[in-house]
Amino acid sequence: MDPTDILKQVAREVATCEKCELHFSRKNAVPGEGPVNAEMVFIGEGPGFHENEQGRPFVGAAGKFLEELLAKIGLSRQQVYITNVVKCRPPGNRDPKPEEVEVCTNAYLERQLQAINPKVIITLGRHSMGLYLANAKISDVHGQALRVKGRLIVPMYHPAAALHQASLKPVLENDFARLPELIARAAEAPEQSEPIHNEPKEPPTQLSLF
Ligand code: URA
Ligand code: SF4
C-alpha cells in the first residue's frame, strides 16, 4: 500500500478502535499528524485533555512549548510528524498500562513508522523511550542518538516536564539544537540492517552513535 494510504487507513481505524479499554473514556482518538515524508517523528505519551477534545496531538500547553522548541531550530510543526504511544486519552491522565501500550503500538504506531520511515525518532518522555530503551534512565541518555531496532532514536524529556521543572527547559533546548546535526550525520553513517540492541545490556551511554 502507498505510505500516504497507510497513514490514512491507520487514522480511520484509530478513530473507531476498541482494542483496549481506553476507548471507553475517550472523546476523540488522536492518531497523529504530519507529512508522510517527514524526516522526524516525535512520539509523546498519550492525548491529554485538549487533545482528546480536538482529536489532534500536542495542542495544549506542552504542544505550545514543543512548537517553540521546533521554531528555535527553524522548523514548524507542519514539517514533522507528531504522534503518541497510545492514541486515546488515559482517564485522568494516568499512565498508559503496559497492555494498552502493547496493543496500541502493535496495531498503529508500528505501521505509522513503517509508512513514514523517518530519519530519526524523537521520543518525548519515558513512555515512548521505553519502547526502545527499556532500562535506560532519561537523565543518562537524553539528547543522544542511539541505533535501536534498526532505527535512530533520540530520547528527550517530555515538554510537559519542563513546564513543571524549569531547569529542564534549557536541557530540552540544547537537545533540540543538536537535532539538525544528528540528522546530517545519520545520513552519512552506514546503514545497519541488523538491529543492534533490542534490550541493551551495557550502560546506555556506550550506545551513543555520535
Ligand atoms: N502530551 C502528550 O504526551 N501527548 C500529547 O499529544 C499532548 C500532551
Ligand atoms: Fe485502540 Fe489505541 Fe485507543 Fe486503545 S488507545 S482504543 S488500542 S486506538
- Ligand 1 pocket mutation pick from 33, 58, 157 by most atoms within 8 angstroms of CB: 58
Cell, residue 142: 537524553
State pLDDT tens for residues 80-93.
999 999 999 999 99
Centre of ligand 1 to C-alpha 87, Å, is 10
State pLDDT tens for residues 166-186.
999 999 999 999 999 988 887
pLDDT at 159: 98
Arithmetic mean of pLDDT over the chain: 91
Whether the predicted pLDDT of 106 surpasses 80: yes
Q: Cα 78 to the chain's mean position, in Å? A: 15
Domains assigned to the chain: 3-186 (3.40.470.10)
Cell, residue 129: 523511550
Q: CA–CA separation, 94 vs 193, rounded Å?
A: 37
Atom 4 of ligand 2: nearest residue by CA position: 20
pLDDT at 188: 78
Confidence of residue 76 (pLDDT cuts 50, 70, 90): very high
Whether the predicted pLDDT of 129 surpasses 90: yes
51 burial type by CB count under 10 A (0-12 exposed, 13-18 middle, 19+ buried): buried
pLDDT at 127: 97
What average pLDDT does this structure show over 107-133?
Answer: 97
pLDDT at 145: 95
Whether the predicted pLDDT of 191 surpasses 70: no
pLDDT at 149: 84
Beta-sheet strands, E only, within 38-193: 40-44, 81-84, 120-124, 146-148, 151-156
Atom of ligand 1 nearest to the CA of 59: 7
Whether the predicted pLDDT of 197 surpasses 50: no
Q: Which residue reads 510543526 in cell numbers?
A: 77
Three-state DSSP class for 149? Answer: coil
Atom of ligand 1 nearest to the CA of 159: 1
pLDDT at 105: 98
Confidence of residue 204 (pLDDT cuts 50, 70, 90): very low
Cell, residue 80: 514533522
What are the residues whose beta carbons fall under 8 Å from the beta carbon of 100, sequence distance 6 or more? 20, 21, 22, 86, 90
Cell, residue 27: 472523546
Residues with CB under 6 A from ligand 1: 44-48, 51, 57-58, 60, 62-63, 84, 160
Ligand nearest to the CA of 104: 2
Task: Give the percent of the chain with pLDDT over 70.
Answer: 90
Q: CA–CA separation, 198 vs 178, rounded Å?
A: 25
Q: CA–CA separation, 71 vs 65, rounded Å?
A: 10
- Ligand 1 pocket mutation pick from 42, 54, 56, 84 by most atoms within 8 angstroms of CB: 84
Q: CA–CA separation, 39 vs 117, rounded Å?
A: 8
State pLDDT tens for residues 149-170.
889 999 999 999 999 999 999 9
Centre of ligand 1 to C-alpha 78, Å, is 16
Whether the predicted pLDDT of 198 surpasses 50: no
